[in-house]
Amino acid sequence: MSAQRIFGLHAVEAALRAQPQGIATIWFDRQRKDRRLQELAALAQTQGLNPQWLNKDAMAAMLPAESRHQGVVAELAVVAERNEAFLEELLVSLNEPALFLVLDEVTDPHNVGACLRSADAAGVHAVITTRDRACGLTPVVRKVASGAAESVPFVQVTNLARTLRTLRDAGVWIIGTALEEGSQSLFQTRLTGPTALVLGAEGKGMRRLTRENCDELVYIPMVGTVQSLNVSVAAGVCLFETLRQRQG
């Protein structure tokens, strides 16, 4: 089992609450006296940890350049990644219409983290991405996700087209996002049944095989001059239209 240094108030607090046994060491900025950091240090102590206090420069040296640690860094044991087997077990266990967010080779950790955060807010059962040529669950992703990396299963698969077929066989409707002939408006699409929303990387969008394994293609109506949205923004729009329909 490998270790990963995570940082940021939300990310570390979520790890403390979700898997304190996985945290080997936690460091705090000795120069900060604000209540939020002191409360987090107290939480670490109640979880059986012994907080270490360092100056902010020593903490910054633990992390990649320009990482904003917000006064806290923790070393977290990284458990085995969730894969196709986990997804199959999840499909069997759900007692409500499935909702998955599928990211096709999205590489920007800020986008992946923002997608996780929106997924948590919209009640997504898992975020699915490719194992290769895509961003994994990095420290930056965890920080941007603000705790959602601990609450939303992050599933990495070897063959996305095959995974989409598995989802379809389980009764999940695969909806891809693409502005092309044959696409229909997101707001005219029924999203209340078992659904997997598929978004491609910025620039190239979904790959051909991914598109071919979609049951339906949708676009987000826009009235301005731009023709596309950032992938994390598009994910948020699609997810909350789904939530609106399901709660309606």
Pick out the chain residues at pLDDT < 70. Answer: 1, 79
CA 110, CA 229: separation in Å to the nearest integer? 15
User: What integer pLDDT is reported at residue 66 of this predicted model?
Assistant: 79
Reported as a single tens digit per residue, the pLDDT across 145-176 is: 988 888 899 999 999 999 999 999 999 999 99
Question: E strands along the chain, which residues?
Answer: 2-7, 23-29, 52-54, 72-78, 99-104, 126-130, 154-157, 173-177, 184-185, 195-200, 216-219
Token pair listed for 5: 């240094």
CA 60, CA 131: separation in Å to the nearest integer? 29
User: What integer pLDDT is reported at residue 229 of this predicted model?
Assistant: 84
CA 143, CA 126: separation in Å to the nearest integer? 18
Query: What CA–CA distances, in Å, run from 42 to 48, 76, 77, 166, 243?
Result: 10, 18, 21, 45, 36
CA 195, CA 225: separation in Å to the nearest integer? 30
Same fold for the pair 2-78 and 84-247: no
User: What integer pLDDT is reported at residue 233 of this predicted model?
Assistant: 95
Is residue 109 within 8 Å of residue 138, measured between CB atoms?
yes
Fold of 2-78: 60s Ribosomal Protein L30; Chain: A; (3.30.1330)
Token pair listed for 53: 């206090």
- Tell me if residue 182 falls in helix, strand or coil: coil
Query: What CA–CA distances, in Å, run from 81 to 1, 109, 130, 193?
Result: 11, 17, 12, 28
Fold of 84-247: Alpha/beta knot (3.40.1280)
* pTM, entire model: 0.84
The domain limits of the chain are 2-78, 84-247
User: What integer pLDDT is reported at residue 33 of this predicted model?
Assistant: 83
